[in-house]
Structure 1
Amino acid sequence: MKRVLTSVLAAAALLVAGTAVAQDKITVATDTNFKPFSFKNDEGNYVGFDIDMWQAIAEKMDADYELRPMDFNGIIPGLQTGNVDVAVAGMSVTAKREKVIDFSYPYYKAGLVIMVRADNSDIGKLEDLSGKVVATKQGTSTIPFLKENIEAGVLDPTEIKKYPNITDAFLELRAGGTDAVIFDLPPLADYANGVGKDAVKLVGPLYMGHHYGIGFPAGSELRDPVNVAILELKESGEYDKIYKKWFGSEPK
């Protein structure tokens, strides 16, 4: 596997050899609150897996940049209009999104999981969400996943609440305003094992395995050098170190 990655890296490096980053400073969109990928620490600085990944990529590219935290729902429009150059925001690579923006090589494998209150014994899988109030994050790949399964007759929730920040859904769950939250595993696991410990729990299997990619405006010249940087980080072991810092173990 390492030999294959090295060969791909060498070919990619030749592809972008001599290519300079056009911008003096790259504008990087990131989510305002998507722990552990991007969130504010106690000092008011944005930190997380995405932030560290982009910092490492920028160093490989010898590129200057500025972070622009924004609601997830505005990130793709920001790329389409050119208001931002790059999006590092835990963004799932989907066929629909690839019609309007470009993506880097995948840098994280994810999936959806269900979270309920700790005393809930009625919900253990997707089908159990029928007749329940379900919460998730607006503008994310969870929405079409739920719609597809509703149309297929897998579930029939009474309501789907969509929040700009997933932490709002967590609070709503604990307050009893929703029966379950369904969203990407990392932020739900982080909450269930941290702030929400003993108050909430994760149930059921992992649904809809997918990958996160870095987003660009269609045709962006930044994609190739970013791809080379991602390959270099994986080849050198730097990626594994960043991953372990935020998720407690190296990627499988």
Structure 2
Amino acid sequence: MIGAALAALACAAVAQEKYTVALDGTFAPHAMPKLGGGVEGFNVDLANLIGERLGVEMDIVATQFSGILPGLQAGTYDFVVAPTTITQERAENLLFSEGYLNTDFQFLIPADAEDVTDLKQLAGKTVAVNKGSAYDSWARGLAEEIGWTVESYGTNTDAVQAVIAGRADANVAGNTVSAWAAKKNSAVKLSYLHETGLVWGMPFRQDDAATRDKVEAVIECLKIDGTIAGLSEKWFGVTPAAGSAAVTPQPGFGQPGFPGYEDGGHKPSC
């Protein structure tokens, strides 16, 4: 009976020739349209590398983020390669890989401005944000305490342009998005980093721990051999800090401290 079960598992593994995965194709620099069609970016590269290491084809579907997690639950996608913040609520309904990037808030300021090491330095200043974003609500929640004025713009690109044009003193957005903007425009530079303690992971259906574990084992090796750090340098212009999610494999499967995490004695090895 045991031999038959192992044989069945082996056949299933051989039969798996393609994964259909999803991401938001408009979230630069994680995924964005490229000349000639298709998408490119950090998460596109990461997904393709996972496919290469597993020896399977990756069918990457670019779609709106709002439909990605429902599509995963419906079986449209095998797993999700879009940057997805691991939260308690999400982890109660989905399985997550361990985190592969930290998701923090970071400020952009003019390239010739004094570096911001304390938010109080922005008292009396204007901070530009993407309207309706998490950064918008966070900055407004601190407006009275810090003493800054928050100006909202239709897109984060417009908010960055406000800094370049001198209509705002700083912009706050996600750390990777801010790093991309600084890499693309020498008129601004990265400054104060607000650590959230949260990470991005890859979601899977709760009944598919086998795929989660296979993919996570690859992610761990991509951390250990420096591949994810190299992708960070390529797309964000940033070398991940020691101890960050991009370079630190976790024991077990899943993100420690969240539902779905399984220790089981697993240790990263490549």
Equivalents in 2 of 1:180, 1:243: separation in Å?
23
- Corresponding position of 1:246: 235
1:78/1:131 CA distance change after superposition, 3 Å: farther
* Greater RCO, CA 8 A, separation 6+: 1
Contact 1:79 1:87 in 2 (8 A): yes
Contact 1:37 1:51 in 2 (8 A): yes
Equivalents in 2 of 1:21, 1:108: separation in Å?
30
Report Cα offsets for 1:170-199 as digits up to 9, x if no partner: 4566678877542221221221231x321x
User: Which of residues 32, 37, 49 in structure 2 aligns to 1:39?
Assistant: 32
1:133/1:243 CA distance change after superposition, 3 Å: closer
Sequence identity percentage: 29
- Does 2:130 correspond to 1:136? yes
Instruction: Let me know the Cα RMSD of the aligned residues.
Output: 4.1
How do 1:78-157 residues align onto structure 2 when only pairs under 5 Å count?
A: 78-116=71-109, 128=122, 134-136=128-130, 142=135, 146=138, 150=141, 154=145
How do 1:1-252 residues align onto structure 2 when only pairs under 5 Å count?
A: 18=10, 20=13, 25-116=18-109, 128=122, 134-136=128-130, 142=135, 146=138, 150=141, 154=145, 161=152, 166-167=156-157, 169-170=159-160, 181-194=171-184, 196-198=185-187, 200-221=188-209, 222-248=211-237, 251=240, 252=242
Report Cα offsets for 1:99-145 as digits up to 9, x if no partner: 23221112123421123566989x986565899675237676x577x
Structure 1 portions without partners, runs of 5+: 1-16
Amino acid at match of 2:201: G
Q: Secondary structure at the match of 1:84?
A: coil
1:73/1:183 CA distance change after superposition, 3 Å: farther
Report Cα offsets for 1:51-100 as digits up to 9, x if no partner: 12111111222222211112334333333333322222222222232223
| TM superposition score normalised by structure 2 | 0.64
